[in-house]
């Protein structure tokens, strides 16, 4: 059976939550990822170096014994964040970067940024110290259609920010549009982007056609098919500015299945298998390792893992559990609605 061996992947955008949920979801990531950038949108958010260090310890305590995994911590940017605290946290090796949530853009983003001018001193200090900014790239204005919020963010926030602070290294996270792909491609330096497995697989029909399907609802929301095609092209191009960030974001079934359900797709259990299938179907299996294991470390100035994983193509489609049980309730696993033949051997 066909096999490939690749450097151990990393996840450059992951929600692990806390407490019982953390314990239940963590092994699904550490099964395949050597490192992950851990999103700080807890309640309350991770805003200080002490918060980040304590959260990192809780993650390490929850680690399955056999897995070697490094959580890379982030600070949640607020209008009160002090430049010196950020620089000190980075220099002490506690954080890898800072996350910008426009206030109200997504789950637990209420303490995020309303006025970019208020965070310019922090961002300037970060640019000077070489600390990256990870960006949830959506405007929140009610008059902007939800399907346009990423494209408008590029014009109104991202581009002006990059003009003001060209030295700031920015990761444009979970991109969902052709405009984002084009914008990253056109940049000369200091801009990278993560892409999720789900945005490579679904378009907005998955959420809305044939009934409303909350398990395909996440933010930024999946767009029309032309945008998915642009994302696929970017992921499959070998361009080092594009790399994997799963945005695996568990919510319990009761929180997903209600009149106002939570945004988030839990894909940690099948991310690598889905990506192997996508790259295989495109005849680009040789570029999988770049996307999942090499471009990310290169972007963040870290070594590529010296561990490896082996993927094997099975004669029959493999199956994944449809949900996992957690101490907080069941969490549905992303169903890509396509046959997956790849399996991780070790």
DSSP state of 293: I
Q: Would you say 112 or 290 has its CB closer to ligand DOR?
A: 112
Q: How far is the CB of 136 from ligand DOR (least distance, A)?
A: 6
Runs of H (alpha helix) within the chain: 19-30, 49-62, 83-91, 120-129, 149-153, 159-164, 178-186, 197-201, 205-208, 225-235, 253-256, 271-281, 288-289, 295-300
- Degrees (nearest 5) of the Cα angle 76, 330, 110? 25
Q: Which residue of the set 10, 11, 85, 247 is catalytic?
A: 247
**Which of 325, 313, 217 has its CA nearest to residue 269?**
325
- Contacts to ligand DOR from residues 22-41, by CB under 6 A: 41
What tokens appear for 261 in the block? Answer: 């359900």
Cβ at position 88, least distance to ligand DOR in Å: 27
Name the pairing type of β-strands 133-135 and 242-244. unpaired
String of contacts with ligand DOR for each residue 296-335, x by CB under 6 A = ----------------------------------------
Q: Is 11 in the site for Zn ion (CB under 5 A)?
A: no
| Residue 11 or 247 having the CB closest to Zn ion | 247
In the complex, the smallest distance separating the C-beta of residue 189 from ligand DOR, rounded to whole angstroms, is 26
- The entry of ligand DOR, Zn ion, none that residue 122 binds, CB within 5 to 8 Å by partner kind: none
Task: Check: CB of residue 88 under 8 Å from CB of residue 127.
Answer: no
Segment 230-269, which members bind ligand DOR (CB under 6 A)? 247, 249, 263-264
Pairing mode, if any, of strands 133-135 and 95-100? parallel
Q: Which of 29, 81, 96, 106 binds ligand DOR (CB under 6 A)?
A: 106
Residue 294 interacting partner from Zn ion, ligand DOR, none (CB closer than 5 to 8 Å by kind)? none
CB of 232 to ligand DOR, least distance (A): 20
Supply 331's token pair: 């969490």
Which residue in the set 136, 149, 199, 241 belongs to the binding site for ligand DOR (CB under 6 A)?
136
DSSP 292: I
Decide: 34 and 307 in contact? Cβ < 8 Å. Answer: yes
Q: State the binding partner of 28 from ligand DOR, Zn ion, none, CB within 5 to 8 A by kind.
A: none
219 contributes a contact to ligand DOR by CB under 6 A: yes
Considering the complex, state which of residue 249 and residue 288 has its C-beta at the smaller distance from Zn ion. 249
Q: Which residue, 8 or 256, is less far from ligand DOR as judged by CB?
A: 256
Query: Does the bond joining 44 to the residue before it have cis omega, within 30 degrees of 0?
Result: yes
215 binds, among Zn ion, ligand DOR, none (CB under 5 to 8 A by kind): none
Cβ within 8 Å of residue 119, ≥6 positions away: 77, 79, 81, 100, 113
Build a one-symbol-per-residue string for 221-260: x at contacts with Zn ion by CB under 5 A, - elsewhere: --------------------------x-------------
Q: Work out which of 30, 107, 194, 270 binds ligand DOR, going by CB under 6 A.
A: 107
As measured in angstroms, the least distance from the Cβ of 128 to ligand DOR is 28
Q: Is 51 a catalytic residue?
A: no
Q: How far apart are CA 312 and CA 1, in angstroms?
A: 7
Collect all residues with Cβ–Cβ distance below 8 Å to 194 and sequence separation of at least 6. Answer: 12, 13, 171, 172, 173, 174, 175, 242, 243, 244, 245, 247, 296
Closer of 107 and 293 to ligand DOR (Cβ):
107
Interface with ligand DOR (CB under 6 A): 15, 41, 106-107, 136, 218-219, 247, 249, 263-264
Residues that bind Zn ion (CB under 5 A): 247
Query: Which residues have a catalytic role annotated?
Result: 247
């Amino acid at each position: 059976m066909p096999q490939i061996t690749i450097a151990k992947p990393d996840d450059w955008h992951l929600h692990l939550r806390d407490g019982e949920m953390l314990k239940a979801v963590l092994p699904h990531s550490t099964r395949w990822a050597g490192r992950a950038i851990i999103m700080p949108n807890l309640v309350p958010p991770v805003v200080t170096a002490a918060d980040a260090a304590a959260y990192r310890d809780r993650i390490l305590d929850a680690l399955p014994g056999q897995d070697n995994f490094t959580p890379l911590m982030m600070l949640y940017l607020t209008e009160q964040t002090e430049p010196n605290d950020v620089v000190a946290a980075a220099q002490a090796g506690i954080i890898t970067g800072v996350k910008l949530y426009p206030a109200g853009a997504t789950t637990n983003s209420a303490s995020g940024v309303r006025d970019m001018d208020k965070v310019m001193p922090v961002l300037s200090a970060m640019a000077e110290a070489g600390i990256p900014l990870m960006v949830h790239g959506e405007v929140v204005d009610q008059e902007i259609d939800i399907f346009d919020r990423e494209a408008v963010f590029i014009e109104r926030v991202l581009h002006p920010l990059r003009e003001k602070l060209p030295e700031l290294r920015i990761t444009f996270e979970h991109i969902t549009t052709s405009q984002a792909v084009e914008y990253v491609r056109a940049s000369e330096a200091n801009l990278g982007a993560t892409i999720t497995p789900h945005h490579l697989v679904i378009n907005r029909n998955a959420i809305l056609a044939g009934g409303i399907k909350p398990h395909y609802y996440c933010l930024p929301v999946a767009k029309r098919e032309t945008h998915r095609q642009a994302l696929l092209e970017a992921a499959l191009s070998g361009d080092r500015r594009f790399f994997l960030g799963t945005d695996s974001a568990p919510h319990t079934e009761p929180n997903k299945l209600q009149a106002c359900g939570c945004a988030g797709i839990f894909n940690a259990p099948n991310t690598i298998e889905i990506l192997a299938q996508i790259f295989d179907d495109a005849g680009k299996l040789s570029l999988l390792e770049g996307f999942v294991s090499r471009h990310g470390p290169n972007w963040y100035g870290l070594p590529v893992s010296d561990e490896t994983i082996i993927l094997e193509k099975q004669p029959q489609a493999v199956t994944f559990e449809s949900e996992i049980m957690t101490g907080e309730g069941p969490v549905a696993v992303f169903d890509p609605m396509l046959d997956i033949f790849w399996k991780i051997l070790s």
